[in-house]
A and B are shown apart, each in its own frame.
Chain A
Amino acid sequence: MNDMRILERAVSQTDIKISARKVQVYYGEKHALKDVDVDIQDKTVTAFIGPSGCGKSTFLRCLNRMNDTIDSCRVEGRIALDGEDIYDKRVDPVQLRARVGMVFQKPNPFPKSIYDNVAYGPRIHGLARNRTELDEIVEKSLRGAALWNEVKDRLAEPGTGLSGGQQQRLCIARAVATQPEVLLMDEPCSALDPIATSQVEDLIDQLRSEFSVVIVTHSMQQAARVSQKTAFFHLGNLVEFGNTDDIFTRPHDPRTESYISGRIG
């Protein structure tokens, strides 16, 4: 693991943003996720790693209730955002998702202009009072997603006309524009080439200064590069959760060790 550039950045913030306790997820009869306890700290990048089908994406989608759209999916346990249970009956998932943004595995810009893609969230949430404010939000978000210089002259062009890496950064800008507190990223780099990947990774590191980021990834190197906390999932169980350096250098569980050294997964 010599090529890994582990960020020795001190985790200064210890506020807990999201706390999950005894989370169970069922797809119909299938018990997909068992007894997951995770605390996600504010202004921290938390990585979920594990082999395919281990439940890491499922758990990520629980955090902003995207699983609600799947009819057969059932979630038990308690997930709290700032101490409030997000699965409470009174919680409107729409309101929750404005605070917990999401970036998907495949870049999925709307078939609208670059500007409208970014402005959509602020518009529906009423974050801008007038056009000038909206312009500001769009510019700030695109800058935040390291895309401004590439697209500032063609904001009216369709977002679907950008390259894959630019599209993904556009999706990040779109998520950032709603000013979320937590940003969930579901394998954001799996459809990107190495250069675009490193751009997105740099971006994730910058985003950490404003809110907490949760990233699901297949690549252990990526987890090691960008995250401060890592959770290792295996067959629906949370095997190990801790500081990224500890997980990669001194794993407690033999399964974690096998996975990071390439023996399973």
Chain B
Amino acid sequence: MTDATNPAAPVERPSLLVPDARTAKRNAAEARFRAYGLSAIIISLLALVVLLFTIFAGGAGAFRQTFLHVPVTLDAAQLDKKGNGDIEDIKKVMTLTYGKLLDQSVQDLIAKQGITIEGLTDKDVANLVSKEASAQLRNMVLADPSVIGQTVDARVLVNGRVDGYFKGRVTMESAARDSNTSPAQLQLAETLKDKGLLAKEWNWAFLTNPDASDQRPEAAGVGVAILGSLYMMLVVLFLAVPIGVAAAIYLEEFAPKNRLTDIIEVNISNLAAVPSIVFGILGLAAFINFAHLPQSAPIVGGLVLVLMTLPRIIIPARAALKAVPPSIRDAALGVGASKMQSVFHHVLPLATPGILTGVILGLAQALGETAPLLLIGMVAFVKNFPSAPPAGLFDPASALPVQVYNWTQRADPAFMERASGAIIVLLVFLLCMNLFAVFLRRKFERRW
């Protein structure tokens, strides 16, 4: 044969201490890949940090608000003209009267403290407190009419511009150009702050107040939005979860595998990818135009979110059911369990953590959804709280993400702070839901 190798020649064995060319190349490729992965993680972490920092830096202010402490003499002659203490008569006194009373109290306070500021007009003094303050005062009196005639130490909201001054949003220079405030007003506020009468304090009202008009950003809160979002989540929880889980169980365990179920499966996957605004249009057409449900109501928003969430619950629930080992089904059938018994006694408990995770992530997604709600009128300005469910489901309400969108559209920069604050609230809710999902998964997985 033509075998040319010389058996006598010694074979050159490379040293193990020196990597050969191929190994070096492979190692280099692996090192490069690791570097890519690491840099991808670092970039995404940086982006997340920047995002969170921006939101918290902008939104933390919404939770701290400037308040003025002013002694107000609640003159019985003006507030309770008949003097009989009848709540109905007291209710007839308008906010305007309280406003005048408050103006006078602030004037008195300035005089008493001996504050003199050059160029300070009566309008500046009157505008120091928020337009909402007189309404706050009125509510206080209506809640407890016995204070009439006394001098109370009222804690009232300060105008948004002055509040902005203490938060660094408004400067003396910008105030000079601003018709809503003046440098003299800011000086007054500064002096009052030095005397301890005006301070930034924790602002629960941001979480409990409804939205406020363009003129009074300092009074705006996410109360109605939280309630609206909560109502919609209730609708989703009570409709989407049972329907979605039942559909998943039927499709995965009982439905025959044929062309029809294939088509259904493809359609469910497609629905999960449909842009959410399309569901909004569907909701507008089906629930409002056809079924004549009220606009801006949580029931309609909830129903739209149900449609949107269904595929997002069905798909992970089916995956969780599919992941249960078939040997468990065999075991159950082998001892004579019926199909339904094998599913409900053995398969479902094992799939529960996966199903729950899918459900909660679906709910979290629904909580943050904005686009479909814009189309069904949830973006409206809602000042009144919806009543308790189930009737409250038909009252107008807002929703957290929609409230964020709404506030970013307003002219006053004070609303930007409110929007960021609302985002913080939304993120806290989402974080809680995700933590709950993790908790449930751990709890059920550790059982055996």
Interface residues of A (CB under 8 A from B): 64, 66, 69, 71, 94-95, 97-98, 101-104, 106, 108-112, 120-121, 124-125, 158, 160, 171, 174-175, 177-178
Contacts and interface: CB of A to CB of B under 8 A. Distances in A.
B333 A97 contact: yes
Given A111-B350, A111-B448, A158-B448, A121 B331 contact: no
Nearest to B325: A108
Interface stretch (B130-138, B338-346, B432-440): B338-346
A184 to B, nearest CB: 8
Contacts of B328: 108, 110-111
Contacts of B333: 66, 69, 97
Contact of A160 (B329, B334, B337, B448): B448
Contacts of A120: 332, 335, 337, 345
Output the residue of A111, A125, A171 with the most chain B CB within 10 A: A111
A102 B334 contact: yes
Contact of B327 (A69, A104, A121, A174): A104
Contacts of B447: 111
B334 A101 contact: yes
Contacts of A66: 330, 333-334
Contacts of A174: 331, 335
Contacts of B327: 104, 106, 108
A125 B336 contact: yes
B257 A121 contact: no
A106 B330 CA distance: 11
Contacts of A124: 335-337, 341, 345
Contact of A110 (B256, B332, B338): B332
A71 B335 CA distance: 21
A105 B374 CA distance: 58
B331 A97 contact: no
A101 B331 CA distance: 10
20 contacts: A94-B336, A97-B333, A101-B336, A104-B327, A104-B334, A109-B331, A110-B328, A110-B331, A110-B346, A111-B350, A111-B448, A120-B335, A121-B335, A124-B335, A124-B336, A124-B345, A125-B336, A158-B448, A160-B448, A175-B334
Interface of B: 256-257, 325, 327-338, 341, 345-346, 349-350, 447-448
Nearest to B257: A71
A102 B333 CA distance: 9
B19 to A, nearest CB: 43
B392 to A, nearest CB: 43
Contacts of B325: 108
Contacts of B338: 94
Contacts of A104: 327, 330-331, 334
B336 A108 contact: no
Contact of B329 (A69, A106, A125): A69
Output the residue of B332, B334, B345 with the most chain A CB within 10 A: B334
A175 B330 CA distance: 12
Pairs A-B, 10 closest by C-beta atoms: A98-B336, A102-B334, A108-B327, A121-B335, A97-B336, A111-B448, A108-B331, A94-B338, A158-B448, A178-B335
A236 to B, nearest CB: 23
A158 B446 CA distance: 12
A98 B332 CA distance: 11
Contacts of B332: 110, 120
Contacts of A178: 335-336
B448 A94 contact: no
A61 to B, nearest CB: 10
B448 A95 contact: no
A83 B447 CA distance: 46
B352 to A, nearest CB: 12
Nearest to B330: A104
Contacts of A112: 448
Contacts of A125: 336
Given A108-B327, A120-B345, A101 B448 contact: no
Contacts of B448: 111-112, 158, 160
A160 B446 CA distance: 13
Nearest to B447: A111
Contacts of B346: 110
A60 B447 CA distance: 34
A177 B330 CA distance: 17
Contacts of A177: 335
Contact of B331 (A64, A158, A171): A171
Contacts of A160: 448
B443 to A, nearest CB: 15
Contacts of A64: 334
Contact of A175 (B256, B335, B349, B350): B335
A121 B334 CA distance: 9
Given A69-B330, A69-B333, A158-B448, 9 more contacts: A98-B335, A101-B335, A101-B336, A103-B334, A104-B327, A104-B330, A111-B328, A124-B335, A175-B334
Contacts of B336: 94-95, 97-98, 101, 121, 124-125, 178
Contacts of B350: 111
A260 B345 CA distance: 44
Contacts of B335: 97-98, 101, 120-121, 124, 174-175, 177-178
A262 B346 CA distance: 42
Given A71-B257, A111-B350, A111-B448, A94 B337 contact: yes
A171 to B, nearest CB: 7
Nearest to A161: B448
Nearest to B331: A108
Contacts of A71: 256-257
A175 B331 CA distance: 9
Contacts of B330: 66, 69, 102, 104, 108
A212 to B, nearest CB: 17
Contacts of B349: 111
Contacts of A98: 335-336
A110 B256 CA distance: 26
A69 B328 CA distance: 13
